[in-house]
Amino acid sequence: MVTRRTLLAGSAAASASATATLAWGSSAAANGHAGIDLVWASMANWLLRVGGVEILMDGYFTRLPESLFRQGPTGPLDLTTHPVTPDVEMVRYVHARLGSYRDLDYVLTGHSHFDHSLDSTVWMDLTRARLIGPRTTAYQAIAWGTPARRCSIVEGGETLRLGSARVQVIRWNHSGNPGALQHDPIELNAVPVPDPETGGLRAGVAEDFPTGGGGRAYLFTVQCGRREVSLLWMNSGSAVDLDVPIVVDGKDHGAPSANLAAALRRARIDRVDLAVMPASVEHLDRVLTIARPRAVIPHHWDGLYQPFLSGMPFRFADPAYQATVAAHDAEMIVPDQFLDAWRLDTRGLRPTPNDAMRDRFDFPDPPAAAVAARTAVSCCGD
């Protein structure tokens, strides 16, 4: 339905592995272990469970080849050589192995680039889920046969009730600089027309997959006894124009920084417990100043093209990112492998076993080497 603290797990100067436990509050406050379950599934893909409600964030498991893209007027992801369709068999393979997360209730997308929304329509076909996201994401899914009645377009400023979670929708921007089509807040104005021969759409950011009017961040709050727990999720952002209003088709959607502050006020909190953030230091610093998270998990640093079934390509390591998190008295949690899982409740953030799900994918051993993600990959969402 749409309606209008102290860290006890080591020094904040060092990052913690996915197996570290961060504690605040008390076990008594957990009130029957109510909270948020999280599973990282590569890139900006997350599985969330709040009570009995299952949510997929983004959900891109197709891997379009780098050779598909060609230089356009503002960047290497502007244009493509031919139309594409989702890798339906790959998404089916993933869905069949999600165990208790197979019966999704919602799919939320942060923005409408191919590496976030290309597979949305497949998840609609495989589950009973409702799609929530930008107008462009809805139009892409509708073009591929998703009924419009199963799509909810959000502009920013809404409060969603998803099971026991209240979700503040925050109008946001995309990484990059103004003038770059990868960054600019462009929405599709009509449902795109699939190629008559292949049924495909054009995946370039200057074609059928623009940002979707910038982006959407989501702030989840869940009541757990006398206290709420909170999760801030965003999959891109740029510090360059964080204080500049996002204007689409003549409508002012507010500046991202002001929108985040307003969302915190609507949620009646002055800080968040966990922020899931893209790998951009300047953007990170601004967001952490406003949201003041207790813990941060970086995501969308693992590249665009490596197959999901190959497992995590390298470990995240960015000294500047880590130092920025520490400067804000937060703890950084670094994933060890795809499908790492955590539980967020009033006792803190702690890892939870997820071997049963991960064993179904037979990933290679986790990489031992750490690579500075910002210099190692060129990432659409960083």
**Paired tokens of 300:** 């969308």
Three-state SS for 28? Answer: helix
Look at residue 279 in the predicted model and tell me its pLDDT. 86
Three-state SS for 275? Answer: strand
Look at residue 366 in the predicted model and tell me its pLDDT. 83
Q: How far apart are CA 115 and CA 111, in angstroms?
A: 9
Q: CA torsion sign, 310 to 381 to 54 to 152?
A: negative
Neighbouring CB atoms inside 10 A of 193's CB total 9
Comparing C-alpha atoms, which of 21, 126, 72 is closest to residue 348? Answer: 21
Q: What's the helix, strand, coil split of the chain in %, to 5?
A: 25, 25, 50
Look at residue 1 in the predicted model and tell me its pLDDT. 40
Look at residue 368 in the predicted model and tell me its pLDDT. 72
Look at residue 14 in the predicted model and tell me its pLDDT. 47
Q: Enumerate residues 6+ apart whose C-beta is below 8 A from 260.
A: 170, 172, 217, 287, 290, 291
Domains in the chain, please, with CATH?
2-376 (3.60.15.10)
Look at residue 22 in the predicted model and tell me its pLDDT. 65
Comparing C-alpha atoms, which of 96, 95, 159, 92 is closest to residue 132? Answer: 159
Neighbouring CB atoms inside 10 A of 177's CB total 12
Measured between alpha carbons, how far apart are the two ends of the chain, in Å?
31
Read off the pTM: 0.91
Distances 24 to 50, 165, 327 between C-alpha atoms, Å: 20, 20, 19
Q: How far apart are CA 379 and CA 372, in angstroms?
A: 13
The continuous run of DSSP H or E covering 248 comes out as strand 247-248
pLDDT means per 10 residues, the chain with 382 residues, are 30 54 52 82 98 96 98 97 98 97 98 98 98 98 98 98 97 95 96 98 98 97 93 97 97 98 98 95 97 98 96 94 97 96 95 96 81 35 40
